C-alpha cells in the first residue's frame, strides 16, 4: 500500500511538473510566437470577396506570362505548399533563376517580400515576376494590362473589385488583386492550437523540440506568427554559410554563386549576405532549403543553421526533436485556394503568346 | 376579327411547323450524335473511386517530369478546358512540340489518342508525354516508377487502386490510373439536353447552325458523342490544307512544317496527311485550331474546313450560324477535376530534378 501510494504520488508529481512545464513552455512560446490570423489584413488594400476571386484567377492565369505557359502557380504551386520543390525555378525560355522560390502561404505576414526584401508587401511582390525576363518574361506593364483588358470577364471583375477607381484595370491593381488573394493563404496547424492554450495539441517529442528550438536560440530570429519573416539577418553569423551549404549543391543544380543578398538592394556593406529570415510554417514540405535551395533534408538544414548562425553543433537528439517540432508547423491548406478557377477565354484582342 | 384569326392562324402554323422542324432536326441529330456518358468506361481498366483519386494526383504531379516542373496539367490545363491555348506546347528545356495539345476533356471517347492515333486509348496515351524527351523528358520508365515508389502515400494508393496486382506500382498502372481519371472528364452542355429531347435547350440561331452543320456536310466526320474523334480523315480532301492554314501561322509560332500525320505511324501512303478527326466539344474554348495550332479564330477554322474538306465556300451567315451551334458545345467542367489535390512530399529516395 505504501508502495502504491509512493508510485501514485510520484506519478502525480510527474504529472504536475509536466503540467507546470507545459504551462511554462506555452507561456514562453506565447511571448515569441503568435497564432496565425484568418487573413493577413492590409488597410491599404482591403481584402474583399470579389478581389480575392479576381486575384485567384490571375494567380492561376498563364496569360500573365509572355509565353502563356507560366502562372504564379507554376513556381508557387498551391498543391505543393506554395513552392515548386526545385533548387531554383525555371522561367521564360528555360532560364534558371538565382534563388529558391519561397512559399506564398503565410507570406503576407512577412516584414517584406523576396529573399532580399526588395518589395514591401505581397501586392508589390506579385508584379515582380511578371516583368522579370527570366521569370514570366512580359516585356512591359502595358502588355500585361492589354492582356487583361482584352478579356471582358476580367474587365467586369476589376470594376467590381476596385469600384472607386476610375481606371480599374491597371498594373498596380493586378498586384492588389493577387495580393488580396495571397492574404487569405493562411495555414493554421497544431502549433496554433497549442498557442491557443491546448498544450496537448503537440506530442511530448514536439514539445521537447519546441523547448530546444527556443533554448538553442532558433527563436531569436524565427518568431512571430509565421515563425520567421519578421527581420533581416546575415546568413553566416558565425561562419560563412557557403562553407556549410556548398557540399550539398547537386551536380544537376543550376550554377549557384555566392549571393550578396540584401546588399544588392541597399548597396550598404552591412547588408552583405543578409537575407530575410524565412518563415518555418510548412517547412517540412517546402524543401529544398535556403535561398539557394542547396539542402534537401530538413535535418541537414537545422544542423547547418545552428552551426552558421549560432556556432553550435547540435546533437542528433536535438536535431530530431527540433525537426519533430518543425513538422507540427505543417498546416491545413485552405480548400478554396485549391479549387482551380475556370478561366475566361481570350479574344481577338488578346496578344498572342511569344516563345 | 378575320384579320386577327388569320394572324393567329399563321402564328399557329408557324409554331407547328417550327415544332415539326425542331423534331425533325432532333431526330436527324440523334442519328448523328449522342449525349455524353457520365463516364467513358473501359472494361480493361474499370473506373474506381480510388483509381480516379490516384490518377488525378498523378495528373497534377510535376514529379512525373525530369525537371519536376511539368505535369499533364501543364499542357492540358483543366482550368482552360484541357488545353494550353498555344499553337504547340513547350516541353523539357523549352523544346517546342510539333503539334497542338488536344484537350483531355471527353478524349476517352475517341477511337484512338494523339492527332495521329498512335496510342489506342487514354491509358496508353498518358504514358507517352512522360517519356518524350521534348515533353516531360523522363529518361526511362524505371525512373518514373522510382519516383512514385519513393513516396509512401503513392505506394499505398497503388495498392488500393490495383488490389489484385502483385506489383501494383508499375509503369502501365500509372497510365491506367491517369486514364481512369480522364475517363471521368466529361463536359455535358446544352446540346446534350437537346439530344435528350428538350428542343428549347438550343436557341433558334444555334438550331439553324446545327442544321447547316449537318446539311453542309460537317457531321459526315464530326459525329458521335464527342462530335468527332470517331474516325481518321485526310486533312485536305479537296485541296492541300497548308494552302489555307499557312497564311495564318504567327511569326511567333514555332517553325511549323508540313505534317504527314498518320503516315508517320503506319508508313502507308494512303495515310499521308491523315489525322484523327478532332472532337468539337468545347471547341470555342480550345483555340488555336488544327494539328498545327495555326488558326486562332473559330470563324476562320470553320471556313477553312468547309473549303479544304468539302470544297465549299460558306456564306458569312452560314459561318455565323455554325459558330453559334459550336458554342453550344461548351460544357460544364466537372468540379471534382478542378479541386487540385494536395500532393504528398518527396523523400530521400526520390530522384532529384534535373534541368
Of A154, A186, A218, the domain-final residue? A186
Residues of B in contact with A250 (CB under 8 A): 352
Question: Do residues B60 and B121 both lie within one domain?
Answer: yes
Which of A90, A91, A336, A354 is the best mutation test for B, with the most CBs of B within 10 A? A90
Question: Do residues A173 and A198 both lie within one domain?
Answer: no
Interface membership of A106 toward B (CB under 8 Å): no
pLDDT band at residue B170 using 50, 70 and 90 as cut-offs: very high
Q: Of all helices (H) and strands (E), which one includes residue A234?
A: strand A232-234
Rounded mean pLDDT, B172-177: 98
Rounded mean pLDDT, B236-251: 88
In a domain, A342, yes or no: no
Known catalytic residues of B?
135
Of B186, B215, B235, the domain-final residue? B186
B252-288 pLDDT tens trace:
666 677 899 999 999 999 999 999 999 999 999 999 9
Question: Do residues B111 and B198 both lie within one domain?
Answer: no
Say yes or no to pLDDT of A10 above 60. Answer: no
β partners of residue B289: B295
Of B161, B186, B211, the domain-final residue? B186
CATH code for the domain of A154 = 1.10.760.10
Question: Do residues A174 and A286 both lie within one domain?
Answer: no
Find the residue in B nearest to A84 (Cα). B69
In a domain, B255, yes or no: yes
Least confident window among A292-306, B149-163, B240-254: B240-254
Interface of A with B in 14-73 (CB under 8 A): 60, 62, 67-69
Least confident window among A159-168, A169-178, A310-319, B255-264: B255-264
Rounded mean pLDDT, A223-239: 97
Rounded mean pLDDT, B27-36: 98
Which among A74, A85, A338 has the least Cβ separation from residue B339? A338
Find out whether A291 is annotated in a ligand binding site: no
Question: Do residues A242 and A278 both lie within one domain?
Answer: yes
Determine, for residues A69 and B60 on separate chains, whether the beta-carbon distance falls below 8 Å.
no
Q: In this predicted structure, what is the pLDDT of residue A258?
A: 87
Which among A68, A79, A250 has the least Cβ separation from residue B341? A79
Residues of B in contact with A297 (CB under 8 A): 348
Question: Do residues B258 and B243 both lie within one domain?
Answer: yes
In a domain, A354, yes or no: no
In a domain, B332, yes or no: no
Say yes or no to pLDDT of A67 above 80. Answer: yes
Question: Do residues B23 and B122 both lie within one domain?
Answer: no
Say yes or no to pLDDT of A344 above 70. Answer: yes
Q: In this predicted structure, what is the pLDDT of residue A247?
A: 86
Rounded mean pLDDT, A149-161: 98
Question: Residue B307: which domain range?
Answer: 2-32+188-327
Contacts of B169 (CB under 8 A, 6+ apart): B145, B148, B149, B154, B155, B158
Question: Do residues B223 and B288 both lie within one domain?
Answer: yes
Q: In this predicted structure, what is the pLDDT of residue B1?
A: 47
Find the residue in B nearest to A90 (Cα). B69
A282-341 pLDDT tens trace:
999 999 999 999 999 999 999 999 999 999 999 999 999 999 999 999 999 999 999 999
Which of A62, A95, A134, A344 is the best mutation test for B, with the most CBs of B within 10 A? A62
Determine, for residues B355 and A94 on separate chains, whether the beta-carbon distance falls below 8 Å.
yes
Find out whether B72 is annotated in a ligand binding site: yes
Known catalytic residues of A?
135
Residues of A in contact with B77 (CB under 8 A): 62
Q: In this predicted structure, what is the pLDDT of residue A147?
A: 98
pLDDT band at residue B129 using 50, 70 and 90 as cut-offs: very high
Interface membership of B339 toward A (CB under 8 Å): yes
Which among A85, A86, A338 has the least Cβ separation from residue B342? A338
In a domain, B336, yes or no: no
Average model confidence (pLDDT) for chain A?
Answer: 94
Determine, for residues B354 and A297 on separate chains, whether the beta-carbon distance falls below 8 Å.
no
Which one has a higher pLDDT value, A72 or A2? A72
B39-66 pLDDT tens trace:
999 999 999 999 999 999 999 999 999 9
pLDDT band at residue B20 using 50, 70 and 90 as cut-offs: confident
Inter-chain CB pairs, A–B, below 8 Å: 101
In a domain, A94, yes or no: yes
Q: In this predicted structure, what is the pLDDT of residue B258?
A: 87
**Whole-number Å distance between alpha carbons of B197 and B191:** 10
Contact by Cβ (8 Å): A187, A106: yes
- Tell me the percentage of chain A whose pLDDT exceeds 90: 89
Contact by Cβ (8 Å): A321, A204: no
Residues of B in contact with A341 (CB under 8 A): 79, 338
Residue B317 CB-density burial (10 A; 0-12 exposed, 13-18 middle, 19+ buried): exposed
Say yes or no to pLDDT of A243 above 60. Answer: yes
Rounded mean pLDDT, B12-27: 74
Which one has a higher pLDDT value, B165 or A5? B165
Find out whether B222 is annotated in a ligand binding site: yes
Say yes or no to pLDDT of A31 above 80. Answer: yes
Residue A87 C-beta-side C-alpha neighbours within 13 Å: 22
pLDDT band at residue A1 using 50, 70 and 90 as cut-offs: very low
Largest Cα separation within chain B, whole Å, is 90
Contact by Cβ (8 Å): A98, A260: no
Find out whether B218 is annotated in a ligand binding site: yes
Question: Do residues A323 and A193 both lie within one domain?
Answer: yes
Rounded mean pLDDT, B294-303: 97
Q: In this predicted structure, what is the pLDDT of residue B255?
A: 61
A128-151 pLDDT tens trace:
999 999 999 999 999 999 999 999
Backbone angles phi and psi of B233, in degrees to 5? -155, 145
Domain count, chain A: 2
Which among A87, A287, A355 has the least Cβ separation from residue B254? A355
Rounded mean pLDDT, B125-132: 98
Question: Do residues A111 and A163 both lie within one domain?
Answer: yes
**Whole-number Å distance between alpha carbons of A163 and A158:** 8
In a domain, A41, yes or no: no
Find the residue in A nearest to B299 (Cα). A348
**Whole-number Å distance between alpha carbons of B353 and B355:** 7
- Tell me the percentage of chain A whose pLDDT exceeds 70: 94
- Nearest CA to CA, how far is A352 from chain B (Å)? 8
Contact by Cβ (8 Å): B174, B58: yes
Determine, for residues B343 and A254 on separate chains, whether the beta-carbon distance falls below 8 Å.
no
Which among B338, B343, B345 has the least Cβ separation from residue A340? B338
Question: Do residues B61 and B172 both lie within one domain?
Answer: yes
Interface of B with A in 294-333 (CB under 8 A): 296-297, 333
Interface of A with B in 215-254 (CB under 8 A): 250, 252, 254
Say yes or no to pLDDT of B151 above 80. Answer: yes
In a domain, A128, yes or no: yes
**Whole-number Å distance between alpha carbons of B275 and B253:** 21
**Whole-number Å distance between alpha carbons of B101 and B75:** 7
Which among B96, B287, B342 has the least Cβ separation from residue A355? B96
**Whole-number Å distance between alpha carbons of A207 and B12:** 82
- Nearest CA to CA, how far is B285 from chain A (Å)? 6
Find out whether B305 is annotated in a ligand binding site: yes
**Whole-number Å distance between alpha carbons of B82 and B100:** 12
**Whole-number Å distance between alpha carbons of A290 and A292:** 5
Contact by Cβ (8 Å): A119, A236: no
Interface membership of B86 toward A (CB under 8 Å): yes
Contact by Cβ (8 Å): B66, B110: no
Question: Do residues B157 and B65 both lie within one domain?
Answer: yes
- Nearest CA to CA, how far is A338 from chain B (Å)? 5
Find the residue in B nearest to A78 (Cα). B342
CA angle A185, A187, A189 (to 5 degrees): 170
Which pTM value belongs to this model? 0.93
Find out whether B272 is annotated in a ligand binding site: no
Amino acid at each position: 500500500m505504501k508502495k502504491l501510494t509512493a508510485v501514485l504520488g510520484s506519478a502525480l508529481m510527474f504529472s504536475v511538473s509536466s503540467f507546470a512545464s507545459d504551462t511554462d513552455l506555452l507561456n514562453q512560446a506565447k511571448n515569441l510566437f503568435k497564432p496565425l490570423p484568418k487573413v493577413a489584413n492590409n488597410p491599404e488594400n482591403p481584402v474583399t470577396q470579389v478581389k480575392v476571386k479576381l486575384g485567384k484567377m490571375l494567380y492561376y492565369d498563364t496569360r500573365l506570362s509572355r509565353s502563356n505557359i507560366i502562372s504564379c502557380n507554376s513556381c508557387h504551386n498551391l498543391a505543393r505548399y506554395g513552392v515548386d520543390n526545385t533548387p531554383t525555378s525555371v522561367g521564360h525560355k528555360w532560364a534558371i533563376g538565382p534563388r529558391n522560390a519561397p512559399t506564398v502561404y503565410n507570406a503576407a505576414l512577412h516584414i517584406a517580400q523576396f529573399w532580399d526584401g526588395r518589395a514591401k508587401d505581397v501586392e508589390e511582390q506579385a508584379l515582380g515576376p511578371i516583368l522579370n525576363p527570366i521569370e514570366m518574361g512580359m516585356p512591359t506593364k502595358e502588355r500585361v494590362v492589354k492582356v487583361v483588358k482584352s478579356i471582358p470577364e476580367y474587365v467586369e471583375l476589376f470594376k467590381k473589385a476596385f469600384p472607386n477607381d476610375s481606371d480599374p484595370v491597371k498594373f498596380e491593381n493586378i498586384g492588389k488583386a493577387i495580393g488580396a488573394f495571397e492574404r487569405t493563404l493562411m495555414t493554421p496547424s497544431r502549433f496554433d492550437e497549442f498557442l491557443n492554450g491546448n498544450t496537448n495539441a503537440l506530442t511530448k517529442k514536439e514539445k521537447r523540440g519546441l523547448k530546444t528550438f527556443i533554448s538553442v536560440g532558433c527563436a531569436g530570429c524565427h518568431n512571430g506568427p509565421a515563425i520567421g519573416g519578421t527581420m533581416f539577418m546575415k546568413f553566416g553569423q558565425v561562419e560563412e554559410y557557403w562553407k556549410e551549404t556548398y557540399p550539398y549543391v547537386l551536380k544537376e543544380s543550376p550554377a549557384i554563386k555566392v549571393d550578396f543578398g540584401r546588399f544588392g538592394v541597399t548597396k550598404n556593406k552591412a547588408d552583405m549576405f543578409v537575407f530575410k529570415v524565412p518563415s518555418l510554417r510548412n517547412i517540412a514540405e517546402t524543401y529544398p532549403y535556403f535561398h539557394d535551395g542547396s539542402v534537401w533534408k530538413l535535418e541537414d538544414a537545422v544542423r547547418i543553421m545552428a552551426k552558421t548562425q549560432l556556432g553550435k553543433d547540435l546533437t542528433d537528439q536535438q536535431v530530431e526533436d527540433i525537426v519533430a517540432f518543425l513538422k507540427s508547423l505543417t498546416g491545413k491548406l485552405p480548400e478554396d485556394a485549391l479549387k482551380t478557377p475556370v478561366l475566361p477565354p481570350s479574344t481577338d484582342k488578346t496578344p498572342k503568346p511569344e516563345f
